[in-house]
Amino acid sequence: MKLTIATRKSKLAQVQTEIVMKLIEDKYGILSEKLLMETLGDKILNKSLNDIGGKGLFVKEIEEALLHDKADAAVHSMKDVPYELPPMFEIAAVVSKDDPRDVFVGRDGIPFKKLRQGAVIGTSSSRRAAELKLLRADIKVVPIRGNVQTRLKKMEEQNLDGIILAAAGLKRLGKEEIITNYFSTEEMVPAVGQGVLGIEIKKESPNKDIFIKLDDFKSRCCAYAERSFMKALNGDCHSTLGAYAELQGEIMHLTGFFELNGKLIKKDIDGSIEDHIGLGQKLAKKILEG
């Protein structure tokens, strides 16, 4: 028996898929192979995600492969997965909750706090742009898209002072040494699902049990608390929105960041891990009430 796992072609997507392939081999002794795919989100890099239809563009073609049984499962960064999945699919397992923080990669290694006045930083995320402005109002933000290697190249070509990336991605790529600064989760509330991997399958998959048993309960609760917050606010790639859930024993602490009527609001809430979906909804209500 050999499983086929669909993934995007980028180096990071492949490394993340290999993490899951190793989990499967270690747990069951079953080998897997990758089905490499290029999504519309990968092909169109000269427009923002908002303009071409949102983060779902990173999963649509991959879901087609699942639908037509060309692959047994797909591995996604959970921050790329819309909260509404088509009814024939499900996230069978949430695994590998790694470092959720955003990081600054400075050209010439200049730290964020020592950047020149009016420094230019690249990011295509409205959340990151808004949180950067809260830290340094003088910063100029320009859009920059593509995989990690592409963004690093664009930083040099466009003479940017730096770019913002996810710590988890750089660590998985073995590029931790290029990180100039880490932003704490208080300084920059991460994207929903940042650092977390999800395994998507077709609901009637004959291999469903293999993938379900890879699920990390605590990682799933954190990811779904954040996704519940996003869903309650009807958030999508157009929204300036972030959320971060962390656990202290059975108590979950959930922080949310949202732009409401032009105003940036950050609030938090504590509650039981068992009520993780409810916590996301309650935090969204707390923010909407001002």
Q: What is the CATH number of the domain that holds 107?
A: 3.40.190.10
What is the C-alpha separation between 268 and 248, in angstroms, rounded? 15
Choose the final residue of a domain: 135, 159, 182. Answer: 182
Q: How many domains does the chain have?
A: 3
Q: How far apart are CA 153 and CA 187, in angstroms?
A: 27
With respect to residue 275, please indicate whether it lies within any of the assigned structural domains.
yes
Any domain includes 190: no
DSSP state letters, 99-157? ---EEEEEGGG--GGGPPTT-EEE---HHHHHHHHHH-TT-EEE---S-HHHHHHHHHH
HEC secondary structure over 210-276: HHHCCCCHHHHHHHHHHHHHHHHCCCCCCCCEEEEEEEECCEEEEEEEEEECCEEEEEEEEEEHHHH
56 pLDDT tier (thresholds 50, 70, 90)? low
Whether residue 107 sits in one domain with residue 59: no
pLDDT of res. 240? 94
* Spatial separation of the C-alpha atoms in residues 227 and 101, rounded to whole Å: 17
Specify if 76 maps to a domain.
yes
The CATH number of residue 282's host domain is 3.30.160.40
Instruction: Report the pLDDT value the prediction gives residue 41, as an integer from 0 to 100.
Output: 53
Q: Answer whether residue 187 is part of any domain.
A: no
Residue 54 scores a pLDDT above 60: no
Name the pLDDT band for 103 (thresholds 50, 70, 90): very high
Q: Answer whether residue 53 shows pLDDT above 90.
A: no
Q: Which residue has the higher pLDDT, 146 or 128?
A: 128
Q: Are 91 and 41 within one domain? A: yes
pLDDT of residue 109: 92
Domain contains 261 = yes
Confidence at residue 84, expressed as pLDDT on a 0 to 100 scale? 87
Q: How confident is the prediction for the chain on average, in pLDDT?
A: 92
| Residue 80 known to be catalytic | yes
pLDDT tens digit sequence for 10-29: 899 999 999 999 999 999 99
CA distances, 233 to each of 73, 150, 175, 187 (Å): 29, 32, 35, 22
pLDDT over 50 at 36, yes or no: yes
| DSSP character at residue 205 | -
Asked if 155 and 163 count as a contact pair (C-beta separation under 8 A), the reply is yes
Q: Angle of helix 217-232 relative to helix 276-288, nearest 10 degrees? A: 30
Domain that holds residue 15: 1-96+195-215
- Shared domain for 66 and 175, answered yes or no, is no
pLDDT higher than threshold 70 for residue 279: yes
Contacts of range 233-236, beta carbons closer than 8 Å, 24 or more positions apart: 233/258, 233/284, 233/287, 233/288, 235/83, 235/192, 236/54, 236/55, 236/82
Residue the block writes with tokens 């990180």: 179
Does residue 50 sit in the same domain as residue 74?
yes
Residue 172 pLDDT > 60, yes or no? yes
What helix, strand, coil percent values describe the chain, rounded to 5?
Answer: 40, 25, 35
Shared domain check, 123 and 161? yes
Q: Which position has the higher pLDDT, 147 or 196?
A: 196
Amino acid making up residue 66? L
Q: Give the per-residue pLDDT at 202.
A: 97
In this predicted model, what pLDDT tens digit does every residue of 227-263 receive, in sequence order? 999 999 998 767 899 999 999 999 999 999 999 999 9
| 148, part of any domain | yes
- 27-41, 61-75, 265-279: which range is least confident on average? 27-41
Same domain, 150 and 270: no
What's the burial of 192, exposed, middle or buried (CB within 10 Å: 0-12/13-18/19+)?
Answer: buried
Instruction: Judge whether 147 and 10 are in contact, CB under 8 Å.
Output: yes
User: Which residue is catalytic, options 80, 98, 102, 236?
Assistant: 80
Residues 4, 48 within the same domain: yes
Is residue 224 scored above 90 in pLDDT? yes
Which pLDDT tens digit goes with each residue over 115-124? 999 999 999 8
